[in-house]
Chain A
């Protein structure tokens, strides 16, 4: 006997029953949404004190939206925490406060400025506070006894993140050890941890930047205005447009100009660059992202350009 090396045609034949229509596979966004809702509910069912990291950035906004869906008609059963660098875009803080009020959330603020004032961390010569967030983040987790911390990290963002688990165990120092990660199989997430340890949870692990934007469009989720094209005073540094502001830019030789820009990510003002853009609607942004030749971090994050392993090193220390 010889086996044929080509299989029978694997294309599905639609079921003949009346259920055919309902058996339609989920669309990609439906599948990602269902997976994220499942993750939120797993955490609520397994942990005592979860918290959702909320920066007012689009990923954390989408996370909060999914959390509301997961527990409706009940309220989101956990607090939100903002790690505040003190270098905020005013539009983002206004958005944060409006969302917290609207959904009656409990907001915990972990302040980088407080950590600097108390001597826990020291301001860097370049004025960037992105890397300084780790200490107040970990202190906030410890002080509040949070045992699960939802982050908006996506595996498509960066190559160290591509290896991240959905449930990522951190030791009592908040450290990530990529070689000692638990294998994660099926949809069985193992969140067991010792006292003092916590688990970082990433419900958007399998989303890409474009998926996030399409979901924002589909769900009509409002965002802070800075995500859409607007005129702003900016100056160029390291090939990026940085916003002029109190945090310390521009330096003497840097020229401030008015440009039409938008932000692809929202972070510390000192190291989050704007891109030139005339995308004023979600659809415009989707079209722009779809044809972009740069990743969002590559385009807009100075901190990730430092070295090949910049993100891996920060994550090991307990960063988001």
Chain B
């Protein structure tokens, strides 16, 4: 910290296009842009928090809003009688959203800097759209939780933090917005940041970065503000560029859900048999002993193939095709894991659900569980407890979950599956509940019971500290 960025740094940061063009002109083809990586993030909030303004600011200051889009928004703002350009119209794309002035659905936004590209899942903040927040958070490595500096941490703030924690989002940014309306007061910021950081720690979220900013005026969004001399941390965009994009695959065990069996049966490849998939976690090497689950058969990897050539080693989240030593019976839905460190399999699943369907769950319902590439029939045996997402209180002894409810459930599966705890295995510990009759996605599921209980106690633990 401490070093002030020069204006030139800022310009390059804010204008990747210019940097790219300059790089190309200088003959550095394929250099600048090919090293760029990809971060997925989610924002939750309502227009009141300034969420749309913040996103508009990020898009605008990274030159991701183009002239015709801006012109369209200006026309629409004028047509609605507005005097200022309403940046929310950039993000609210559906007719119903524009008419009602609210964000209904998850929208995906794209912006980039010289070092990183971003996929931003923009989700509505109101309690009735919890399912959309859950959806956006499911793939995010970072969540931005917005608060209004005048209002501080609200119930909605706690709900957004809870959802980020539930979905295992590793990095959370608390964007304390509208600092201009509290005179950029350090004490106000610190109080909000402390309260939120404690709450998040109670939820098990330990990487929280609080940033004082004004989305409207641009303070600490892309450019460092002169009005927060007491703040030594990064701007929002600097922080977004610095967080790791994924877990380090070398610290995690291999999981390889088989998607598809490749058998060309051509004169060139008469006997080729490869197992295609995307590595969900960990690293795979030629020569490695693996176990096929749920059957438990063992074999070893003899080749890692890609269209671009063979590899000795590959890691998550690469898509590859594995050749195995033995002609074992493997098909879509199986999971390959290290033979020496095989995960648990089972047909009794204790999990946490977020109910996504309009109709509530039915006790004893026959459903489908989709885990990795495997789909099995299942019965929803019991609902053990329910977290009211609007009040963040837990209710034991309920028999069903309604839209946006989060609850711990017991499922009985027709066949065993790999049971990876979601808290440790974000890709393989996730599952969907699907209605076998019409294919409706009923619920988002996470293997493991602890989450809801842990969440419910968070506030009490926070107060006790």
Residues in A lying within 8 Å of B, measured CB to CB: 1-8, 10-12, 15, 17, 19-20, 22-23, 25-35, 37-38, 41-42, 44-45, 68-75, 155-156, 158-163, 169, 178-179, 181-188, 190, 192-194, 205-206, 208, 211, 214, 217-218, 283, 286-287, 290-295, 298-299, 308-309, 312
Contact A69:B306 (CB < 8 A) given known A27-B34, A290-B21? yes
Residues of A within 8 A of B139 (CB): 185-187
| Contact indicator A1/B465 (Cβ below 8 Å) | yes
What distance in Å separates the Cβ of A28 from its nearest Cβ neighbour in chain B? 4
| Contact indicator A178/B105 (Cβ below 8 Å) | yes
Taking chain B's interface residues, is the majority helix, strand, or loop, or is none over half, making it mixed?
A: mixed
CA distance A92 to B465 in the complex (A): 68
C-beta contact mask, B227-270 vs A, less than 8 Å → 1, else 0?
Answer: 00000010000000011111011110000000110111110110
Nearest-neighbor residue (CB-CB) of B22 within chain A: A287
Supply 30 A–B pairs (Cβ within 8 Å), ascending by A.
A7-B209, A12-B244, A15-B251, A20-B250, A22-B283, A22-B315, A38-B278, A69-B307, A73-B269, A74-B265, A74-B266, A159-B91, A163-B94, A163-B105, A169-B439, A178-B96, A179-B104, A186-B138, A188-B431, A192-B438, A194-B438, A194-B439, A217-B29, A286-B20, A287-B25, A291-B18, A291-B21, A308-B76, A308-B95, A312-B93
Residues of A within 8 A of B201 (CB): 3
Residues of B within 8 A of A71 (CB): 260, 262, 276
| Contact indicator A162/B93 (Cβ below 8 Å) | yes
Residues of A within 8 A of B171 (CB): 10
Excluding A73-B274, A187-B278, 9 further A-B contacts by CB distance (< 8 Å) are A11-B244, A22-B315, A26-B38, A72-B262, A73-B305, A208-B112, A290-B17, A291-B21, A293-B66
Residues of B within 8 A of A308 (CB): 72, 76, 95, 98
Contact A26:B242 (CB < 8 A) given known A5-B194, A181-B105, A283-B29? no
Contact A72:B33 (CB < 8 A) given known A22-B283, A178-B105, A286-B20? no
B288 contacts the other chain (CB 8 A): no
What distance in Å separates the Cβ of B351 from its nearest Cβ neighbour in chain A? 14
CA distance A204 to B426 in the complex (A): 23
Residues of B within 8 A of A183 (CB): 131-132, 134-135, 356, 441, 444
Contact A7:B246 (CB < 8 A) given known A2-B194, A41-B319, A42-B259? no
Listed from nearest, the 8 A-B pairs whose CB atoms lie closest are A192-B439, A159-B93, A298-B68, A5-B193, A74-B264, A69-B307, A37-B319, A185-B138
B440 touches which one: A15, A182, A188 (CB < 8 A)?
A182
| Contact indicator B244/A190 (Cβ below 8 Å) | no
Residues of B within 8 A of A25 (CB): 37, 244-246
| Contact indicator B135/A184 (Cβ below 8 Å) | yes
Residues of B within 8 A of A72 (CB): 262, 305-307, 321
B36 touches which one: A23, A27, A74, A169 (CB < 8 A)?
A27
| Contact indicator B110/A156 (Cβ below 8 Å) | yes
Nearest-neighbor residue (CB-CB) of A11 within chain B: B242
Contact A312:B95 (CB < 8 A) given known A3-B198, A12-B248, A185-B432? yes
| Contact indicator B260/A44 (Cβ below 8 Å) | yes
Tell me which of B69, B265, B370 has the highest count of chain A C-beta atoms within 10 A of its own C-beta.
Answer: B69
| Contact indicator B259/A299 (Cβ below 8 Å) | no
B119 contacts the other chain (CB 8 A): yes
| Contact indicator A26/B318 (Cβ below 8 Å) | yes
CA distance A4 to B208 in the complex (A): 10
